[in-house]
Structure 1
Amino acid sequence: MSALVDEQRLEASPTGDDRLPRIKPHTTSQIRAHLRSAKTLWCPGCSNGTITRALVDAILGLDLDPERVVVVAGIGCSGRISAYLDYSTVHTAHGRALAVATGVKAADPSLHVIVAMGDGDSSAIGGNHFIHAARRNIDLTALVFNNSIYGMTGGQMSPTTHLGDKSTTSVHGSVEPAFDLCELAHAAGATYVARGTAWGYQQLVNVIAGGIAHAGFAMVEAMAVCPVYYGRFNLTADPAAFLRAQKEHAVPASQFDEGETRVRDRYPVGLLHHRERDEFVAALGQVREKASEGRHG
């Protein structure tokens, strides 16, 4: 797998707060046991391999039965994850990953269903499914690989491309403000919302694990680096420099000043929102029981 994590970055990355699981890093051989043999197609310097490893680290740390894990992926760079993970995986149509995952979870509530999406898959063509999955509070973990651009199709702007950023479809800079996916999820009803970065590996593992363990709709935004398109157009084509920039821009949620402008320069990381309310599949089960007993209220 590309972009494996070195010891220096493990030590440097933040671990989050006491509300999150503290997952110890696993060895490369342990990680590989959860991967298929397919070679990744991600570009050199892409952090999708790091985020994928963080997901496997979280699954291992929670001691989940691999036979009970289902990963549903959409289209885009992140969608390739379905070919690399050795779990039950589903590669869906563009923007429909959450719709398919909802059916999987409703059919068998005992499964751990994880949905891997890009920023376009989740907030453009799939935006409607995103807000309604959050509203329903269905017990899914939505892992959004956010590289702020459409990488697979040639570097077009996405809903998370920041104001003024360049892309192949905004060559003079985007005139549209970007979605804050975490605040969008929270406003729509998600009961667990967190953000991590490719640089802050250990924190990313912990927030993913917390999302999987949470009984309700969990949205984890993984801030990815795309040096080939986003970096080359806006920041730097050097993957290491891009990661160092993430370190400077990410602020622990407990230290983030709400008065700061939420632009690409500064953003909060860690567990951002957490609350409890009725979960969709459990409520559906109660309706099923009433129907089987012939009750109407």
Structure 2
Amino acid sequence: MEQIAGKPEALTDKEFHYCPGCTHGIVHRLVAEVIDELEIQEETIGVAPVGCAVLAYEYFDVDMHQAAHGRAPALATGIKRVHSDKTVFTYQGDGDLAAIGTAEIVHAAARGEELTTIFINNAIFGMTGGQMAPTTLLDQKATTSPEGRKVKDAGYPIRMSEMLATLDGSTYIARVSVDSPQNIKKAKKAIKKAFEIQVEGKGFALVEVLSTCPTNWGVSPQEAIEWLQDNMIPYYPLGPIKDVEVEK
């Protein structure tokens, strides 16, 4: 019997630990499929974050490093500068990238480091119990904002992709979602482009992926998808935000 689908070579056989309805697993598969299609598995080095994806080094069948919380771009910079012939990517959540790691990602982008960053935005701190993140929406409840995020207390949610797009060193910045089959296809296309930009030596690329966290949002997986569609996408609009190749 002909096999028409299977596990990407760039994924291990390790079972994911993610909660039911979490979309990390979908994104892992997309990244692995891209690595397979570009035939760069033996040349790829990934950097795992601190957060729900902390065990990414057990799932991607490529050389992996573990960074301290928020420091993945700094570690990836060192790896890429020593191994300039390798394809280096970071996989980070919003707590890792947009909170404790803000300086690292900003300066990596500003320097135009030849890195690919996969940024998972689920608008909350997932692994540590559901605290408010820099990306938490206004009036969204979290363990540290039980009455909802208020401007006077916590300011506005940060649109990281738009901010990074203002930096001259960034080449490609896009925001995607994995809430539907159509958007999953678009997400893969953006992730593939972000890797291709690095392979071709064209600079820093980041893809922000809107993701769900049913456990800490306190809803069912289906309700989480609907909440993302109704609340996150209007505030974090999808599509390419910066594409130097197109702009030229």
Q: CA deviation at 1:244?
A: 4.1
Give the conservation status (yes or no) of the 8 Å contact 1:197–1:246: no
1:90-144 per-residue CA deviation (whole Å, 9 max, x = no partner) reads 1111111110000010001111111000001111111000110010011101101
Give the conservation status (yes or no) of the 8 Å contact 1:143–1:222: yes
The answer as to 2:17 corresponding to 1:41 is: yes
Percentage identity across paired residues of the two chains? 33
Match of 2:243 in 1: 274
CA 1:141/1:27 → structure 2, altered by over 3 Å: closer, same or farther? Answer: farther
Supply the AA of the counterpart residue of 1:198.
V
The answer as to 2:130 corresponding to 1:148 is: no
Unaligned runs of 5+ in 2: none
The answer as to 2:13 corresponding to 1:29 is: no
Distance 2:72 2:5 in 1: 29
Match of 1:137 in 2: 112
Distance 1:264 1:151 in 2: 19
Match of 1:294 in 2: none
Match of 2:172 in 1: 192
Larger Rg: 1
CA 1:81/1:264 → structure 2, altered by over 3 Å: closer, same or farther? Answer: same
1:172-218 per-residue CA deviation (whole Å, 9 max, x = no partner) reads 11123100011111123322100111121111100001111112110
Q: Which moved more, 1:187-196 or 1:151-160?
A: 187-196
Aligned length: 231
* Aligned-partner SS, 2:139: coil
The answer as to 2:198 corresponding to 1:208 is: no
Q: CA deviation at 1:264?
A: 5.4
Distance 2:107 2:159 in 1: 17
Supply the AA of the counterpart residue of 2:26.
T
Pairing 1:242-261 to 2, within 5 Å after superposition: 242-247=224-229
Match of 1:87 in 2: 62
Match of 1:239 in 2: 221
Q: Tell me the TM-score normalized by structure 2.
A: 0.87
Distance 1:102 1:110 in 2: 13
Give the conservation status (yes or no) of the 8 Å contact 1:79–1:116: no
Distance 1:194 1:264 in 2: 13
Match of 1:20 in 2: none
Q: Tell me the TM-score normalized by structure 1.
A: 0.73
Give the conservation status (yes or no) of the 8 Å contact 1:115–1:143: yes
Match of 1:181 in 2: 160
Q: CA deviation at 1:247?
A: 4.7
Supply the AA of the counterpart residue of 1:238.
S
Give the conservation status (yes or no) of the 8 Å contact 2:92–2:118: yes
Distance 1:155 1:248 in 2: 20
Pairing 1:49-88 to 2, within 5 Å after superposition: 49-61=25-37, 63-88=38-63
Q: CA deviation at 1:27?
A: 5.6
- CA RMSD for the aligned pairs? 1.8
